[in-house]
Structure 1
Amino acid sequence: MDIIDGKKRGSWVSDATRHSVKLRGSLAGLVLVAAALAGCQSSTINNSLATTIEAEQGSEENIASLTEVIRANPNDPSAYNVRGSAFGRAGRYQEALRDFDQAIALNPRFFEAYANRALIWRALGDLGRAAEDYNAALRINPRYDTAYIGRGELYRRSGRVTEAFNDFQKAIQLDTTDPRAYHRRGLVYQSRGQHDFAIDDFSTAISLQPNAPEPYNGRGLSYVALGQLDNAFDDFNYALQLNDRVAESWANQALVYEKKGDVAKARKSYQRALQLDPAYEPARSGLARVGGKV
């Protein structure tokens, strides 16, 4: 999910980072312990956009530490970029915007800060400004895979599937190791009914990030579409092992039970999905099919 993966969790994620930062007195003492949202390539702080952010990144303690860094280094755009990431993790979007604005003012070619700010605009629902920032990042660095992935997701959510596919494809052609590129291209293939290609992409995403439930759910749905219910069931159950608080995983498991004729178990799993997310429509419609009550 991107900073906000609106389809499921509504929490700061998604579009997140593989590395983390925490103050130990100065920028030279920053230790990688809590994920910082996107990669600044400066010599001061080195972090990169990934799929999830650790909770500590948005903690008051970490934000206070980063504020001390900025006081000591008020002209370092990297410091603002990292604190902006922490504000984003904490859901403090206006403060995050101000920090990314300042990072860009100090370094107008700071393409990672544009991509991070795009995530904030997306979280706020301003997809136009998010697209503008991704475009700005790509004008500065046409090989920045993170921006292609982020912009592609904007396109995908807006129904501009061909443009989304092209952006995910570009990121993959750039040899990205970001699993989101494969996961999301897989979703596009899936929407086109190209399930064999989708399964290949979901499998690659899983190999790059084996502990994320989303690509297992994606691959499982393509297995369902191909009638491979046992493979689908394995994927949905493994997604639940990874995180049993994702409504989609329970609803997908219920779908397999339903298709196998086990109405009682299907009903129970659909009900569990709706306990986690009362607005999750696939679970609601599925429960109606098997005659259950919320």
Structure 2
Amino acid sequence: MNAITVERRTAFRGFALTAALVSGLTLAACQTTPTGEFNNIDKAQGSSENISSLSAVIQRSPQDPEGYNVRGSAYGRGGQYQAALKDFNQAIQLNPNFYQAYSNRALIQRFLGNQEAALADYNRSIQINANYDAAYIGRGNLYRKAGRTQDAFNDFQKAIQLDTTDARAYHNRGLIYQSQGQHKFAIEDFSTAISLAPDAAEPYNGRGLSYLATGDEDNAFSDFNMAIKLDGKNAEAWANQALIYEKRGDKVRAAKSYREAIHLDPNYQPAKDGLSRTGSNAS
């Protein structure tokens, strides 16, 4: 797999949404950072066995930049960022116009905290291929992390105009619409993201928040439940489910779900606040 794409559950922290209040209760916001963008690469690709097989391919064709790009992606999926960086460097050295490798290296730079280097790589990828949607999406995430919301929106918009099939573009644009209170547009974008990545929990959680903000409690509850079904480790979804239970007066179930959210993320403040409201002794 050449491009490092889809962001999944752990990828949705760091972009603070404007606080949304429903009946005085704070929604648990869905957020985004780079973590998790390797999830469209099969998990096995980060295994030692797969790395070995990719290394064998490189040994047979040491001048083929594609081999280094693929192995770099596998290293990235396995959390071996320095090894991934080395492979992407080699791919680019062999092919200075390898725009996919620039975009992939940019993601590694983001993981390593080298934001300026990441931006330079995204810019170079786009300079080489102005129609490469993954680079716009990656750069949009970088802009969003830096608080450059309009620039982020423009990049997600560009990727969508290029007819991307990457769910992140719609999900992330939906988050921006949501942060601006434009929930109708947010719901449309989250729904498109769901159609493109039906196994991803985050668009359901995001859409549920916008449904709840517009007073559609039943659809919100359905979406939070689906998010939990798809990813039982999504603390935000558990806290949002608990919020619905709380709004319905079911403090026992609310407390149980808030506790599960805290178990998954002990520092998640909306869940801690919710549990204090519903009673920490509830069972």
- TM bin (shorter chain): 0.7 to 0.9
Contact 1:287 1:293 in 2 (8 A): no
Please say if 1:151 is aligned against 2:157: no
Contact 2:177-2:183 within 8 A present in 1 as well: yes
* 1:54 corresponds to which of 27, 37, 42: 42
Contact in 2 for aligned 1:2/1:119 (Cα 8 Å): no
Query: Is the aligned partner of 1:141 residue 2:147?
Result: no
Residue 201 (structure 2) pairs with residue 178 (structure 1)? no
The structural deviation recorded for 1:252 is 1.1
1:190-247, Cα deviation, whole Å (9 max, x unpaired) = 0000000000000000011111110000000001111111110000111111121211
Q: Which residue of 1 aligns with 2:11?
A: 5
Asked if 1:228 is matched to 2:251, the reply is no
Normalized against structure 1, the TM-score is what? 0.83
Match of 2:264 in 1: 276
Alignment match, 1:109? 97
Which of 73, 82, 88 pairs up with 1:85? Answer: 73
Aligned equivalents of 1:216 and 1:6: distance in 2?
Answer: 12
- Residue 96 of structure 1 corresponds to 84
Which amino acid letter does the alignment assign opposite residue 164 of structure 1?
Answer: A
1:80/1:293 Cα in 2 relative to 1: closer, same or farther (>3 Å)?
farther
Cα distance in 1, alignment partners of residues 252 and 118 from structure 2: 45
What's the CA shift string for 1:114-138, capped at 9, x where partnerless? 0101111111122221111111100
2:23 paired residue number: none
Deviation at 1:188, TM superposition (A): 0.3
CA–CA separation in structure 2 for the residues paired with 1:77 and 1:119: 18
Return the offset for 1:261.
2.0
2-structure distance, mates of 1:142, 1:176? 13
Counterpart Cα distance in 2 of 1:162 and 1:12: 22
> Which of 165, 176, 183 pairs up with 1:195?
183
User: RCO higher in 1 or 2 (8 Å CA, sep ≥ 6)?
Assistant: 2
Distance 1:124 1:293 in 2: 42
3-state secondary structure, aligned to 2:36: strand
Deviation at 1:62, TM superposition (A): 0.3
- Counterpart CA distance in 2 for 1:121 and 1:286 is 37
Code of the residue aligned with 2:121 in structure 1: it is D
Give the letter for the 1:187 counterpart: L
Structure 2 CA distance for aligned equivalents of residues 109 and 141 of structure 1: 9
Aligned mates of 2:220, 2:107 — CA distance in 1: 32
Cα distance between partner residues in 2 of 1:12 and 1:230: 31
- How far is the alpha carbon of 1:249 from its aligned partner? 1.3
> Any idea what SS the aligned residue of 2:171 has?
helix
Secondary structure of the 2:164 match is coil
Q: Any stretches of 5+ residues in structure 1 without a counterpart?
A: 17-50
Q: Distance in 2 between matches of 1:133 and 1:228?
A: 42
The answer for the alignment partner of 1:23 in structure 2 is none
For 1:128, the aligned partner's letter is E
Which 5+ residue runs of structure 2 have no aligned equivalent?
A: 1-5, 14-30
In the TM superposition, what is the alpha-carbon distance from 1:276 to its structure 2 partner? 1.2
Partner of 1:47: none
Provide the TM-score with structure 2 as the length reference: 0.87
Contact 1:53 1:89 in 2 (8 A): yes
The amino acid across from 2:36 in the alignment is V
Per-residue Cα deviation, 1:34-89 (whole angstroms, up to 9, x for no partner): xxxxxxxxxxxxxxxxx532210100000011111111111000000001011111
Q: Secondary structure at the residue paired with 1:261?
A: coil
Q: What's the Cα RMSD here?
A: 2.0
- Say whether the 8 Å CA contact 2:33–2:141 is kept in structure 1: no
The one-letter code matched in structure 2 to 1:5 is: A
Give SS of 2:41's match.
Answer: coil
**What's the CA shift for 1:289?**
2.8
Shift of 1:293: 6.7
Q: Deviations over 1:150-176 (max 9, x none)?
A: 111111122211111100000001111
Distance 2:32 2:191 in 1: 22
Aligned equivalent of 2:245: 257
CA distance in structure 1 between the aligned counterparts of 2:274 and 2:254, rounded to whole angstroms: 8
Does the alignment pair 1:71 with 2:59? yes
Query: Which residue in 2 is equivalent to 1:126?
Result: 114
Query: Is the alpha carbon distance of 1:277 and 1:202 closer, same or farther for their aligned partners in structure 2, counting shifts above 3 Å?
Result: same
CA–CA separation in structure 2 for the residues paired with 1:293 and 1:72 = 63
